[in-house]
Structure 1
Amino acid sequence: MKNNIFKTCLVLSSAFMLTACGQETSNTTSTKDGKSSNLSGELTVYTAIEEELIPQYLETFEETYPEIDLNIVRDSTGIITAKLLAEGKNTEADVVWGTAASSLLELDEKDMIEGYTPKDSNKILPQYKDNLQPEKWVGNTTFMTGIVVNTQELKKRGLAIPKSYEDLLKPEYKGVIVMPHPASSGTGFLTVSAWLQMMGDEKGWNYMTKLHNNIGTYTHSGSKPAKLAASGEYPIGVSLVYSGVKQKQEGAPVEIILPEEGLGWEVEANALIKKEDKESDTLAKAFLDWAISDEVMKKYYEANGFSTMKNNFEQLEAFPEGVEEKMYADNNLKWAAEFRSTILEKWEQQYGQKAEPKE
């Protein structure tokens, strides 16, 4: 069989091959190194990994498990999280791959996560995985927020390059800033969460109210503000560092600014969905083992400039220096998960009117 990537018509936008979501019986013979050419069947994987990265990451899985058909359901973190919460125990997902750890913690509160410690989990640094055994979630990489600026467009408008979050409040930036909607985008939520943790509740909300005056629109994707900055439509985008790097690599006149206050960040993590029907467990655990294997961990690093495991990977030239040092040290994912619904409800009431139309 050939591994197929699909997107459900309800939540996904671009064209991948559509496959059915049913489960097939799996053959479970394994090799000594944990890999198997005999495993077969279908596995449904929910993910928020950036669309263009999924085929790159899956190359080694397809080589190792050619008889497993993967049904990939992909959308932004907020939408995938909402979909899982809405589906509850009836979800078709067998595995969640590359989705915010705070979202997985919220799913665990609903008793939707099964503990499983993948092979080689000991290589993952403790701050990037669950501290319980068996582990409810294990991280692949982190994603973090930077400020992506179109230097040509700012120069044309006579505007200086902002160096901090505080700078974004200056009146000259009114209408030229775009950032992700926190309910739709994991990047948006980690940014809001970071501001509230860095500044405290009162100052954080006051900051967002002032920033709202300068915001042109809130996007439903964490990468879209970088793309809008690259095009010049909105010269300043609060966006994924990765997305800014990608635009720069493609020749856009952008720079990625690491705000002086520090970077909000989130762990991109994996988990096993708790199901009464254990038919897919063998395939799901094989996938989770693969998801933190050395080969794909290197690919995560090459895409994001960060790894959750001890490594000697070469620093990537395209990434701005000091990303790891700038990551907000006191980031509390459990706090973010606990107050996510409350934060999003208040944010929507106060700022949601500037959200772009949903496609």
Structure 2
Amino acid sequence: MVLLPALIRGDAVMKRRGSFALILSMLVATFSVRMAATEHPDLTGERLVVYISFHEEEGRRLLDLFQVRTNVDYTYLRIPTGELVARVIKEASAPQAHIILGGTADAHQLLANEGLLEKYVPSPAEHIFEKFRSPDHYWTGIYLGAISIGINENRWKREFEGQGVEKPSTFEDLLNPRFKGEIILPDPRTSGTGYTLLASLIQLWGEDEAFAYFRRLDQNVGEYTTTGFTVAQKTALGEYLIGINFIHDQLLVKKSGFNLSSTIPPGAGWEIGCVSMIKNSQSSSAAKAFLDFMTDREAGQLHTNLTERISTRSDVMTPLGAKPWAEIPINLDYDLYLAAKLKTKYLKGWEERVLRIN
């Protein structure tokens, strides 16, 4: 039996943290020395509820540091982006959380379009480029990520090396019939990663060409996952040869010791991962303080260290093994606002034209 490294496990359960491990204390002490001091309010007696849409361990570590800084009491729930959006919409009349941490900007923008997010401008956000922030102040980008092709190098060497098969480096390369059943993708109906892949290729190629492509690619797909990170996990473990998800997830499992290579294909879609405040929730002082905290350099550097993501702050170091954002061959014309506006249409097309669900 293969045991997953602790770093890549996660459970979608509500958890309350009251004590801190020694490693966290050492990490906080290190950050206290290396980072310039930032004023944080005393939130003793305040309670913060956070919906997390990236890896649970990373969210918990950030919340633990915020608790050290403010004495706030917190609770969190980790759920995939698509389910998170549906939950916030369902709870609109009586919000059950204050903060959405992580998830693609199109998901946050969809909730903003529905009138479910509160406007707020975190003071540290002045150090984040405007194009990575909501112009209407509903969400703030904290990290960036590009769609990437991940390959299990152990399996490739064992099964394909010397057979005249080129490693896939473009989206079209994934249609090779030799890869039948060996590709794993995130489901765009539940995963923000999957929806970014779908929406970006529709915008790049047009609906007819994109859906025709996904219909052909479906013949090679062995599994659609609920979350994007599961793609990196299962590819790293060798359950699948090829996985398509965000490059930072692939770099994270590679950092954990797995032999996974990554290639960002030309015209790749990309995300702005965001943080936002849910409208009409209580504890607004704690929520605003958390937004300030998450957009500051200290949290930005910790987040990058934990996740291999590229920060939206220029004063946070780029992860080792990641290219600077300006050198990545992404589709610069990808429009997240259009992706948010047309999400229902795009997903209906996915079900009817790719999965053939009527």
The yes-or-no answer on 1:304 pairing with 2:312 is no
1:83-140 deviations in Å (ceiling 9; x for gaps) = 11222232211121222211111111211111111111211101100113xx111111
Matching residue's letter, 1:88: A
User: Residue 31 of structure 2 aligns with which residue?
Assistant: none
User: Residue 203 of structure 2 aligns with which residue?
Assistant: 197
The yes-or-no answer on 1:293 pairing with 2:299 is no
Is residue 258–residue 323 contact of structure 1 (8 Å, CA) maintained in 2?
Answer: no
User: Residue 104 of structure 1 aligns with which residue?
Assistant: 108
User: Residue 229 of structure 1 aligns with which residue?
Assistant: 235
The yes-or-no answer on 1:149 pairing with 2:147 is no
Label 1:353 to 1:180 Cα distance change in 2 as closer, same or farther (>3 A). farther
Deviation at 1:15, TM superposition (A): 5.9
1:163-219 deviations in Å (ceiling 9; x for gaps) = 111100111111111100001111100111111111122211111111111111111
User: Residue 7 of structure 1 aligns with which residue?
Assistant: none
Matching residue's letter, 2:328: E
User: Residue 48 of structure 1 aligns with which residue?
Assistant: 53
Structure 2 unmatched runs, 5+: 1-9, 18-36
Q: Which moved more, 1:102-111 or 1:331-340?
A: 102-111
Matching residue's letter, 2:11: S
Provide the secondary structure at the position in 2 that maps to 1:88. coil
Is residue 125–residue 308 contact of structure 1 (8 Å, CA) maintained in 2?
Answer: yes
The yes-or-no answer on 1:136 pairing with 2:138 is yes
CA distance in 2 between counterparts of 1:181 and 1:237 reads 12
CA distance in 2 between counterparts of 1:267 and 1:324 reads 17
Is residue 224–residue 239 contact of structure 1 (8 Å, CA) maintained in 2?
Answer: no
CA distance in 2 between counterparts of 1:60 and 1:243 reads 22
Query: What does 1:1-359 correspond to in 2, within 5 Å?
Result: 13=11, 17-18=15-16, 34-66=39-71, 68-132=72-136, 135-158=137-160, 159-259=165-265, 261-275=266-280, 279-302=282-305, 303-311=307-315, 313-319=316-322, 324-352=327-355
CA distance in 2 between counterparts of 1:95 and 1:314 reads 26
Label 1:83 to 1:38 Cα distance change in 2 as closer, same or farther (>3 A). closer
Is residue 47–residue 75 contact of structure 1 (8 Å, CA) maintained in 2?
Answer: yes
Matching residue's letter, 1:240: F
Structure 1 unmatched runs, 5+: 1-11, 20-31, 355-359
Matching residue's letter, 1:63: V
Deviation at 1:347, TM superposition (A): 1.0
Is residue 249–residue 318 contact of structure 1 (8 Å, CA) maintained in 2?
Answer: no
Label 1:88 to 1:207 Cα distance change in 2 as closer, same or farther (>3 A). same
CA distance in 1 between counterparts of 2:15 and 2:64 reads 16
- TM-score normalized by the length of structure 2: 0.84
Is residue 12–residue 78 contact of structure 2 (8 Å, CA) maintained in 1?
Answer: no
Provide the secondary structure at the position in 1 that maps to 2:15. coil
CA distance in 2 between counterparts of 1:281 and 1:321 reads 35
Deviation at 1:63, TM superposition (A): 1.5
Deviation at 1:319, TM superposition (A): 2.9
Deviation at 1:274, TM superposition (A): 1.3
Matching residue's letter, 1:205: F
Percent identity over the alignment is: 26
Provide the secondary structure at the position in 2 that maps to 1:342. helix
Deviation at 1:223, TM superposition (A): 1.0
Aligned residues: 324
CA distance in 1 between counterparts of 2:319 and 2:256 reads 15
Provide the secondary structure at the position in 2 that maps to 1:120. helix
Deviation at 1:47, TM superposition (A): 1.8
* Deviating 4+ runs (over 4 angstroms): 320-324
CA distance in 2 between counterparts of 1:17 and 1:300 reads 20
Task: Note the aligned Cα RMSD (angstroms).
Answer: 2.3
Label 1:324 to 1:79 Cα distance change in 2 as closer, same or farther (>3 A). farther
